[in-house]
């Protein structure tokens, strides 16, 4: 099958298993009921698979917030930053509608529009709902999402259910007010600023009530949690259990981002984020109870494009001002393209299932699991040079198969200099980001990084360029097993924990 040519679209590739969890038992969407899976399968934020094909955008229409979180600084606006809560240009609902339609016409793979800030969308009900109301009418082929801290959620459920919104994300970092008091210094509630445990208790009650009300209305709920070592890390498995029992369909545990230069409480006070090992352990421990999301890129509140990329610069206010959009025509084009992408995804999913079945037939290894890093720009193949990779996907190979674990950023959060803070080189930073991995698969590796990687106990591998990720990872795993490398514990693994 040939896909229509799109700007920046992934080229259609035949053969091999594409995205995550080939031969695995835990595809994050597998355990969902069909009705929910249908709703989320073309949502780039809900599966590692879909995000290589579909794009999303956020419009920054919601500046006000009704609470303070210790990981957020309301003063922030930096073009080099990519993290939640950061935007460059605040939009009016009218500008947001125009921008959304401009992006949808230019990037037909864009299926989802979210409002995520930079404040709390539901603390700006007029601006948020005006945007949703107009988009439901004028661009009915776009799915609408909103994320919230939950404080104003119960009052907003009725209005949310009127629009084209089938997903709501609630950030729930705790269900215990004592823990909440260490995360939320204050809330604005019933015309007062309230602090401490009392504030956290109100916030938690509102979040849980809102969650229950959304489920009762048949709206899908995803829960985001920020993992803060020493604060809520031991508590999040409990959160996962509670939100699952109430009907949330996906739990996304994200690592705390805290740097002094962000000016946040946690950044300035030296609170560290979790190591990749700690994050993975927690996600694994929750996964018995809940579908865990592992590919979140923690994007900006005004991000545009495929996950992990940002094309916001192409759609600034002055640029969209001059764009003439015929949305009816765009919708026709989008429909054709979406159907083609869906067919491509379906056929790849089928191939993947066949590969997995094949793998089950083979004699089972008894070796220990291994983490490997993969450099890819999408399409499910290894296709990026080591030195060009902005991020690596982390896979675990084990006798049960290959499963997607997470992604790790290779560059610094502030994309400015090649050195940052303590003068570490980009290469050193990247190697540190790969801690715990025993191999890195990319299309090519230069001489210098090759040596440094080996020194760090990470075997570079450029032999599987353009091959499907899962097949290559399994091939390398089998080579390692055959060479007797998996008989003993490696020195470097888990050393970072």
Partner 1 sequence: MAVKIIESCVNCFACEPVCPSNAIYEAKPHFLVDSKKCTECEGDFPVQQCASICPIEGAIVDSFGLAFNPPGSLTGIPPEKMAEAMAELQSH
User: Binding partner 1 by CB under 8 A: which of 17, 55, 60, 90?
Assistant: 90
**Using an 8 Å Cβ cutoff, are 400 and 408 in contact?**
no
Backbone φ and ψ for 324, nearest 5 degrees, come out as -100, 120
Q: How many CA atoms lie within 13 A of 351 on its CB side?
A: 18
Per CB under 8 A, the segment of 117-125, 146-154, 347-355, 457-465 that binds partner 1 is 117-125
185 scored as a contact of partner 1 (CB under 8 A) = yes
User: Binding partner 1 by CB under 8 A: which of 1, 2, 5, 75?
Assistant: 75
User: Binding partner 1 by CB under 8 A: which of 42, 95, 106, 124?
Assistant: 124
User: Binding partner 1 by CB under 8 A: which of 19, 65, 228, 397?
Assistant: 65
Per CB under 8 A, the segment of 59-67, 275-283, 396-404, 444-452 that binds partner 1 is 59-67
317 scored as a contact of partner 1 (CB under 8 A) = no
Contacts of 417 (CB under 8 A, 6+ apart): none
Is the bond into 41 cis (omega within 30 degrees of 0)?
no
Task: Give Cα separations from 304 to 9, 111, 486 (angstroms).
Answer: 14, 11, 42
Token couple for 346:
């379906």
Closest distance to partner 1 from the beta carbon of 314 (Å): 25
Nearer to partner 1 by Cβ, of 186 and 413: the residue is 186
Contacts of 331 (CB under 8 A, 6+ apart): 139, 141
Per CB under 8 A, the segment of 190-198, 220-228, 332-340, 487-495 that binds partner 1 is 190-198
Nearer to partner 1 by Cβ, of 260 and 357: the residue is 260
63 scored as a contact of partner 1 (CB under 8 A) = yes
Closest distance to partner 1 from the beta carbon of 440 (Å): 30
Nearer to partner 1 by Cβ, of 118 and 378: the residue is 118
Tokens 């699952």 belong to which residue? 244
Torsion of CA 405, 450, 427, 79, to 10 degrees: -60
Q: Using the CB atoms, write b or e for 201-220: b if 16+ within 10 Å.
A: bbbbebbbebbebbeeeeeb
119 scored as a contact of partner 1 (CB under 8 A) = yes
User: Binding partner 1 by CB under 8 A: which of 6, 268, 323, 331?
Assistant: 268
Residue 402 CA to residue 493 CA, distance in Å, equals: 18
Residue 17 CA to residue 436 CA, distance in Å, equals: 25
Nearer to partner 1 by Cβ, of 45 and 187: the residue is 187
**Using an 8 Å Cβ cutoff, are 434 and 374 in contact?**
no
Closest distance to partner 1 from the beta carbon of 69 (Å): 10
User: Binding partner 1 by CB under 8 A: which of 6, 13, 141, 188?
Assistant: 188
Nearer to partner 1 by Cβ, of 265 and 404: the residue is 265
Residues near partner 1, by CB under 8 A: 63-66, 68, 70, 74-75, 90, 119, 123-124, 126, 185-186, 188, 191-193, 260-261, 263-265, 267-269, 421
């Amino acid at each position: 099958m040939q896909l229509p040519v799109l700007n920046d679209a992934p080229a259609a590739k035949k053969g091999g298993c594409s995205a995550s969890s080939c031969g695995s038992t835990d595809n994050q969407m597998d355990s969902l009921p069909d009705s929910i899976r249908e709703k989320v399968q073309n949502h780039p934020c809900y599966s590692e698979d879909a995000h290589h094909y579909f794009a999303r955008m956020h419009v920054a229409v919601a500046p006000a917030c009704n609470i303070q979180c210790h990981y957020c600084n309301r003063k922030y606006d930096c073009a080099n930053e990519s993290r939640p809560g950061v935007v460059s240009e605040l939009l009016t609902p009218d500008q947001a509608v125009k921008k959304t339609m401009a992006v949808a016409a230019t990037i037909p793979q864009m299926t989802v529009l979210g409002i995520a800030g930079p404040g709390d969308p539901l603390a700006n009900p007029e601006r948020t709902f005006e945007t949703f109301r107009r988009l439901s009418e004028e661009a009915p082929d776009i799915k609408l999402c909103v994320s919230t801290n939950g404080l104003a959620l119960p009052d907003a459920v009725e209005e949310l259910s009127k629009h084209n919104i089938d997903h709501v994300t609630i950030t729930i970092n705790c269900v215990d007010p004592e823990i909440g008091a260490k995360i939320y210094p204050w809330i604005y509630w019933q015309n007062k600023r309230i602090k401490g445990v009392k504030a956290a208790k109100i916030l938690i009650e509102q979040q849980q009530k809102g969650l229950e009300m959304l489920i009762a209305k048949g709206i899908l709920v995803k829960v985001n949690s920020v993992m803060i070592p020493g604060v809520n890390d031991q508590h999040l498995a409990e959160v996962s259990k509670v939100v699952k029992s109430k009907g949330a369909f996906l739990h996304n545990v994200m690592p705390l981002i805290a740097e002094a230069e962000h000016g946040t409480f946690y950044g300035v006070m030296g609170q560290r984020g979790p190591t990749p090992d700690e994050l993975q352990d927690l996600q694994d421990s929750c996964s018995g109870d809940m579908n865990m999301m592992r590919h979140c890129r923690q994007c900006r509140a005004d991000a545009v494009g495929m996950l992990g990329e940002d094309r916001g610069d192409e759609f600034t206010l002055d640029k969209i001002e001059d764009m003439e959009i015929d949305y009816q025509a765009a919708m026709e084009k989008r429909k054709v393209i979406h159907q083609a992408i869906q067919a491509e995804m379906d056929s790849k999913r089928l191939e993947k299932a066949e590969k997995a079945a094949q793998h089950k037939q083979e004699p089972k290894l008894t070796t220990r699991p291994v983490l490997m890093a993969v450099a890819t720009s999408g399409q499910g193949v290894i296709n990026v040079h080591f030195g060009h990779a902005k991020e690596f996907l982390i896979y675990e190979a084990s006798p049960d198969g290959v499963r997607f674990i997470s992604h790790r950023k290779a560059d610094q959060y502030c994309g400015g200099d090649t050195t940052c803070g303590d003068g570490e080189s980009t290469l050193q930073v990247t190697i540190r980001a790969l801690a715990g991995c025993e191999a890195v698969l990319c299309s090519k590796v230069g001489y210098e990084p090759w040596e440094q990687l080996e020194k760090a106990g990470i075997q570079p591998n450029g032999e599987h360029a353009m091959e499907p990720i899962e097949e290559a990872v399994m091939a390398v795993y089998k080579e390692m097993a055959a060479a007797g490398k998996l008989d003993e514990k490696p020195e470097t693994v888990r050393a970072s924990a």
